[in-house]
Structure 1
Amino acid sequence: MESLLPRLSHTLVHAKSLEELTRPLLDMLQQVTKLDSTYLTRIDLPHSQQHVLYTCNRGRLEMPEGLVVPWQDTLCRRALEDRQPYTADVVSSWGDSEAARALGLHTYVSAPVRLPQGQLYGTLCAASGVEQAMPDGAMATLELFAGLIGQQVERELLLQELQQRNLELANYALTDALTGLPNRHALMEELPRMWSRAERDGRSVLLAFIDLDGFKQINDQHGHEAGDQLLQTVARQLLNALRDSDFAARIGGDEFVMVGTGPEISQSATQVLYAPGAGHPVRCGRSGGSAALPRRQRRRSGRAPGTDQHRAGPGPGRRRHVREQNAPSHAFRHPLRSCPTTTL
């Protein structure tokens, strides 16, 4: 074991993944045990399977990587349940294992790989096709390596969880919680990318600004739940109107923005906003403005050019289309042809 310490130390310092740690450990374990094959397994209890992840084969016995064995048929299960980590005669100890007979196992030793909280992850094993005694210190080395692997698995699981949490937080920061649409911050991040794509393709960028007139009255008369349902209906219908390259966001209480590449927007964007279902419909007016921005007039700041002047003033049913100078008049159709409707 002392002769392996420099290599073990180097492996622990430089290994960046489970595989980078495990493969050198399997090779060192093979040198210590003198058995034909050393291997790491992962136990999938929900599916009652054992997976061979990594192997080191040096003798006549070949343990294939990627092998999947029913957990009930494995030597590892029997060794754990019987608390017998080593046998030099597999047939006498566990002759009912079909997998052991198929692989030709005769000598077998294993140690469980557990996470720091005690959960069983898998097993670290060594096996041979002939009867062999275990050298002094081999079992202690096997258990040491199993513990090191368990710690590495725990680190990787924690890293994966942290990355997933960070992704969820990033998505949450860019998403409107009520409608599921991107929010104002997401819109400001998306606009520069749309400018760049349009610039590359030689096309204009279309913007539509929409707010719902009379929305406060709906909240006052029917309650905020009805208002929330209406906003969700608007969001669904805007999403249904989008092409693959388009983008819709909720930027305020009852304010929405649609952005797409020109010169023409999808015909589906003219669909009526309507929430089917039982009950009576609640309708509100809408105000909106649209603009087609030629390439040479777009700003690089990420802010929608002329945002304020493209917004139509409030009032039931009022709408106004504003065009940038030299923008084609046919380039954008208003996405809301009729008043948005929801059903109580």
Structure 2
Amino acid sequence: MDPILSQLSLSLKTARTIDQLIRPVLEMLGNITGMESTYLTSIELGPGVQHVRYARNSGDMQIPEGLSVPWEDTLCKRSLDMGILSTDQVSTLWGDSDAARQLGIKTYISAPVRSGDGGLLGTLCAASARSVTISGETETLLQLFANIVANFIEREMLLDELQHANARLAAHALADPLTGLPNRRALFDELERLLAQAVRTGSSVLVGVIDLDGFKQINDRHGHQAGDDFLQAVAQRLQSGLRATEMLGRMGGDEFLFIGPGPAWPKGALPGALITEGEPASAAHALQQRLSALTTGDYPLAGHRIAYGGGSVGVVALAPFGLHSADAIHLADSEMYVVKQARKRHA
């Protein structure tokens, strides 16, 4: 037994995943038992299905990885129900088993793989078409292997849960809870990345600030729930009009921010300054019209249909050199304020 334990100890030291552990374990189990097939299963008790996750086959009998069978008809369940770890009389004990008969199984051994709280995760098994004598020492080793595998599976499940939890936390940290859009932090991070990219490619950057005029009146007249519904509806409309390379987020309150790549910035444009002519300026003007049109229209709120005249949208084309995200947003915000004042004069 000592060589087996030494080999097992080495596998435990080097394995980082269940895949790296189980392959050597199945090979060791085959050498110990002398059986053609060794395999690890997982069990879904709800739908009543057993899956062969890993398998090693060294003879004519083949138990394929990925095989799924009804749990009720498995030798694993029968041996668990009867409290039997091994038998070389499969046809006598379980002659009604279609799977055993089709595979020609004569000798079978399995141990449950259980979680720390006793839940059944799967089984570690070996099967043979020959009659093989199974010693008590072999059964003890099989149970040891099953316990080790269970610990690895639980660790793998825990790591998956932690990774998913971290991903959810990261998503929440970068998302506006009301609209689901990127929040201020995410916008600043993406704008810094976009500015750096524009420096490398020689392109301009388009930044737009959208302020929803009359939002306070909607809140006062129809209530805060209607105001929230309105913000969500505007966010959906704006988001629907975006292109693949563009990003929209909520800065807070009734203010949204647009960022996206623009055309190449013209020679002679000052670093970090507004571009007021050429293709970038034309692109900024077209974007301003597009975003303004997206916010304009009828909104069903709190049982009423509100005809909304659109928000104030300021869009600027910027040369990225020497420019930081806060400065870029300030320039777009100033342009939005100019648009807002002009709208008030013509109201």
From 299, 324, 330, give the equivalent of 1:275. 299
Task: Return closer, same or farther for 1:300/1:132 CA change in 2, 3 Å cut-off.
Answer: farther
Which residue matches 2:317? 292
CA distance in 2 between partners of 1:126 and 1:70 (Å) = 18
CA distance in 2 between partners of 1:192 and 1:163 (Å) = 26
Task: Return closer, same or farther for 1:209/1:89 CA change in 2, 3 Å cut-off.
Answer: same
Match runs of 1:244-255 below 5 Å = 244-255=244-255
Match runs of 1:29-108 below 5 Å = 29-108=29-108
CA distance in 2 between partners of 1:152 and 1:162 (Å) = 15
Q: Indicate whether 1:257 and 2:257 are aligned.
A: yes
CA distance in 2 between partners of 1:273 and 1:198 (Å) = 34
Deviation of 1:171 (Å): 0.5
Task: Return closer, same or farther for 1:157/1:85 CA change in 2, 3 Å cut-off.
Answer: same
CA distance in 1 between partners of 2:340 and 2:224 (Å) = 21
Deviation of 1:130 (Å): 1.1
Which residue matches 1:153? 153
Q: Indicate whether 1:191 and 2:191 are aligned.
A: yes
Deviation of 1:300 (Å): 5.1
Deviation of 1:50 (Å): 1.6
CA distance in 2 between partners of 1:195 and 1:156 (Å) = 40
Q: Assess if the C-alpha contact under 8 Å between 1:239 and 1:248 holds in 2.
A: yes
Task: Return closer, same or farther for 1:200/1:100 CA change in 2, 3 Å cut-off.
Answer: farther
Q: Assess if the C-alpha contact under 8 Å between 1:233 and 1:274 holds in 2.
A: no
- Normalising by structure 2, we get a TM-score of 0.83
Deviation of 1:73 (Å): 2.1
CA distance in 1 between partners of 2:305 and 2:53 (Å) = 60
Q: Indicate whether 1:225 and 2:225 are aligned.
A: yes
Deviation of 1:236 (Å): 0.9
Which residue matches 2:203? 203
Q: Deviations over 1:56-106 (max 9, x none)?
A: 233443322222222222111111222222221211111122111221111
CA distance in 2 between partners of 1:186 and 1:53 (Å) = 40
Q: Assess if the C-alpha contact under 8 Å between 2:208 and 2:316 holds in 1.
A: yes
Deviation of 1:283 (Å): 4.0
Q: Deviations over 1:3-49 (max 9, x none)?
A: 21221111112110001111111122222222222111111233332
- Normalising by structure 1, we get a TM-score of 0.84
Deviation of 1:201 (Å): 5.1
CA distance in 2 between partners of 1:138 and 1:201 (Å) = 66
For 1:119, the aligned partner's letter is: G
Q: Assess if the C-alpha contact under 8 Å between 2:231 and 2:254 holds in 1.
A: yes
For 1:208, the aligned partner's letter is: G
> Which stretch of structure 1 is more off in the superposition, 56-65 or 4-13?
56-65
Task: Return closer, same or farther for 1:301/1:279 CA change in 2, 3 Å cut-off.
Answer: closer
Q: Indicate whether 1:318 and 2:343 are aligned.
A: yes
Corresponding residue SS for 2:326: coil
Q: Which runs of 5+ in 2 are unaligned?
A: 264-282
CA distance in 2 between partners of 1:18 and 1:139 (Å) = 22
> Which stretch of structure 1 is more off in the superposition, 4-13 or 176-185?
4-13
Q: Deviations over 1:90-149 (max 9, x none)?
A: 111111221112211110010011111211111000111011110240111111110110
Task: Return closer, same or farther for 1:45/1:133 CA change in 2, 3 Å cut-off.
Answer: same
Deviation of 1:212 (Å): 1.8
Match runs of 1:331-342 below 5 Å = none
Corresponding residue SS for 2:61: coil
Identity of aligned residues (%): 45
For 1:312, the aligned partner's letter is: Y
Q: Deviations over 1:144-185 (max 9, x none)?
A: 110110110100101000010100010001111011111110
Task: Return closer, same or farther for 1:317/1:160 CA change in 2, 3 Å cut-off.
Answer: farther
For 2:220, the aligned partner's letter is: D
CA distance in 1 between partners of 2:234 and 2:138 (Å) = 68
Which residue matches 1:142? 142
Deviation of 1:198 (Å): 4.0
Deviation of 1:247 (Å): 0.6
Q: Assess if the C-alpha contact under 8 Å between 1:69 and 1:99 holds in 2.
A: no
Q: Which runs of 5+ in 1 are unaligned?
A: 321-338, 340-344
Corresponding residue SS for 1:131: coil
Which residue matches 2:18? 18
